[in-house]
Amino acid sequence: MALLIDVENASCTITLDGVVYERPIAGLVILTDPEARMSQMDVAGQLVHITEDEARCLIGAGAKDDRKMLWVNTP
């Protein structure tokens, strides 16, 4: 997956499996994958992992931050 964030135009271009998707950043929701302990977002109905840097950049540019803080319990 390739992700290009265009802050000036408030858009995001995602290339996934050879298909290019362009989305307005304001319409993106950043989620948490609790099993992988990574951020993810929905691309055409498919949840894809993104780096924390990408998540922070998208959120800073206007994407909704719907991530959950995960805590580790030690015995």
What are the tens digits of pLDDT across the range 35-56? 888 999 999 899 999 999 999 9
Q: Does position 62 have pLDDT exceeding 70, yes or no?
A: yes
Q: What's the predicted TM-score (pTM) here?
A: 0.84
Beta-carbon contacts of residue 59 (< 8 Å; ≥ 6 apart): 30, 65
Cα separation values, 67 from 19, 56, 63, 75, Å: 26, 11, 11, 25
State the CB neighbour count (10 A cutoff) for residue 17: 8
Q: What integer is the mean pLDDT of 21-30? A: 95
- Please give the domain boundaries of the chain with CATH numbers for all domains: 2-65 (3.40.1170.40)
